[in-house]
A and B are shown apart, each in its own frame.
Chain A
């Protein structure tokens, strides 16, 4: 009697397994304990050893999915006659086997091994997740190098490959820019704060009259792509690069919070191209920042947890309506967005401290500069403004929190307009 080779149960909740590859072909001799075939379950790929000595006959197709305990082939003793498979099991019509399209051959022979992404007979190892990632992406997994045990290709190898491919494809690191349709005069550049986006200017814009507006969005915010390098110098360089790409003769700069710090850096770097600088609750003038509030916003994965933190950004909490919170959460729904912002916060505000200091830059900037701050700001304390040199105008707004452009757009617009 030939020895039956079965699809073994190797995991607690395994019901069937896929034959990935045979290590030997029909007619080859095997010894007990030799690697015989590889299987893939929902969880892992695994090598199965030969249960006996002899000649392998009637192996099922590679790619076939077989229920546990069912035969996948037979091992015959030397000289044992093998006219038909015992029980006729390895027929492709077997009710327990489903051929996976494009992977298995239909005629029961193994000559026609697919050379698609699943062919692992070329002696390389890859985790099931790596295989399915590569499959979904449509590239040949064999073309990448594995860093797992014995050169196994793992999910992280596939992801690294994808990331590399993407970063090679993107030659420009410029930020997303949107411009108002019309307007005359010197344009205004708007840069929002951390964990916000260009929409935060909407209320102010409608009070700003007829100037052309150019809104930039931070990396990993709004429509800007995620950047790997997110330290302050990297961000400042990206802002400069984007600004240079606009080819403006002159611009008024209005920045909020982190955006304020970045435009202050820009004004310092491009003094001849800046007409005026308006900093709303800017970062970079002192080490303190509300780390708990930052972390709370970053952590939130639904509106119920985001809302209470957003309320702390304003003085009059009724401004933060349910629909406002839901809209804000929708913008943060993508796990990749949240991860990118988290990486950014980690670089910019480690341990809830502002890791960059722009006081020296502010001392050097000679263009007309104003600082606006809400006295009820719970993110960054307004008294950081007192560190500005005497030539900088300071406007402290009573009953306003960290978002003056949203909380008091008319007042903010009036102050800005009066000085443009």
Chain B
């Protein structure tokens, strides 16, 4: 087969990395399904935003990131955490409000940060991660670390002032940051058609003199190709880029969504474009995997999830007298 007909991912990555990527996407899916089930049983407090259906965007966007690189995440950030290798048990523990959680159970689903793995954190503020990513990229540039920051945000953030200010600053200072918009067509119940003046959010890049690309966000290879190029450009000191991954969240906005703003037909249509099925199909058709491998991948993931759930469930609750500890940086045990 002529190499030019091969998808980018198959050309660019070794077998092991492709299998890894698929494994991560399956893990994210199963993780969120388990979180959903736990939530429905009342084990998780607060609310929760699931990214089921968006796994290719999370994993594909992190393919060329190195240990020193950073990401900033969103309120819909479980996939981003796991793409960067977060610990499943500590994530569940955080959801369950346990001492062993990422924030010692004080933060919940929307506040997971894993600085050791370059994850600067989820953010409950729509658009809140953008200025942080710019700051991270600025520090990398000033310190000469060579680190690149990938900044995830939703379509809803593209109309926030912080988005525009961040892109402008990143551009004037040629910062090593890649803005990755996960356009899932809605900010809560508001469709981008109704909220956004431009047809593609990537068109906004022109205003800040940076490259912009819109790709099929459910196509792992397309995402990886666009973001890899942007990371390379950032790493080479050429400045920021904007990549828009067109995707879809198959679940509601949060746990209390009644889906009144979209049709079942639309959800079903997007379910047919499942990023995991598509990546697996691609890997099979290019001989990277065999049809029969899926059962093993599923089983593997399920076992990891079960272990993580057991770890979280058996972890200690915070002591009532200490509930207000560890809420602010450096607030330690007082």
Judged by a CB distance under 8 angstroms, whether B256 is at the interface is: yes
Judged by a CB distance under 8 angstroms, whether B142 is at the interface is: no
User: Closest CB-CB distance, A52 to chain B, in whole Å?
Assistant: 12
Task: Tell me whether A69 and B258 are in contact (CB under 8 A).
Answer: no
Chain A residues within 8 Å of B, Cβ to Cβ? 6, 8-12, 15, 43-44, 46-47, 68-69, 149
Q: A44-B258, A46-B258 are in contact. Are A12 and B46 (CB under 8 A)?
A: yes
Known: A6-B41, A68-B41. 19 other contacts (CB 8 A): A6-B40, A8-B41, A9-B40, A9-B42, A9-B255, A10-B256, A11-B255, A12-B45, A12-B47, A12-B255, A12-B256, A15-B42, A44-B256, A47-B258, A68-B40, A68-B42, A69-B40, A69-B42, A69-B43
- Name B252's closest neighbour in chain A (CB-CB): A10
- Name B267's closest neighbour in chain A (CB-CB): A33
User: Closest CB-CB distance, B269 to chain A, in whole Å?
Assistant: 14
Total A-B residue pairs with C-beta atoms closer than 8 Å? 33
Judged by a CB distance under 8 angstroms, whether B326 is at the interface is: no
Judged by a CB distance under 8 angstroms, whether B319 is at the interface is: no
Residues of B within 8 A of A149 (CB): 260
Judged by a CB distance under 8 angstroms, whether B39 is at the interface is: yes
Give bound CA distance, A215 to B159, whole Å: 59
Give bound CA distance, A15 to B41, whole Å: 10
Chain B residues within 8 Å of A, Cβ to Cβ? 39-43, 45-47, 255-256, 258, 260
Task: Tell me whether B40 and A8 are in contact (CB under 8 A).
Answer: yes
Give bound CA distance, A47 to B39, whole Å: 17
Give bound CA distance, A114 to B40, whole Å: 28
Give bound CA distance, A323 to B242, whole Å: 68
- Name A150's closest neighbour in chain B (CB-CB): B260
Top 4 A-B residue pairs of the complex, sorted by shortest distance between their CB atoms: A8-B40, A69-B41, A68-B42, A69-B42
Give bound CA distance, A47 to B252, whole Å: 13
Give bound CA distance, A278 to B118, whole Å: 84
Give bound CA distance, A187 to B120, whole Å: 84
| Interface class of chain A by DSSP | loop
User: Closest CB-CB distance, B291 to chain A, in whole Å?
Assistant: 23
Residues of A within 8 A of B260 (CB): 149
Give bound CA distance, A149 to B259, whole Å: 11
User: Closest CB-CB distance, A41 to chain B, in whole Å?
Assistant: 9
Give bound CA distance, A269 to B50, whole Å: 70
Residues of A within 8 A of B258 (CB): 44, 46-47
B39, B40, B47, B260: residue with the most chain A Cβ atoms closer than 10 Å: B40
B42, B45, B260: residue with the most chain A Cβ atoms closer than 10 Å: B42
Residues of B within 8 A of A6 (CB): 40-41
- Name A48's closest neighbour in chain B (CB-CB): B40
Q: A44-B256, A44-B258 are in contact. Are A9 and B47 (CB under 8 A)?
A: no
Give bound CA distance, A9 to B43, whole Å: 9
Residues of B within 8 A of A9 (CB): 39-42, 255
Residues of A within 8 A of B40 (CB): 6, 8-10, 68-69
User: Closest CB-CB distance, B45 to chain A, in whole Å?
Assistant: 8
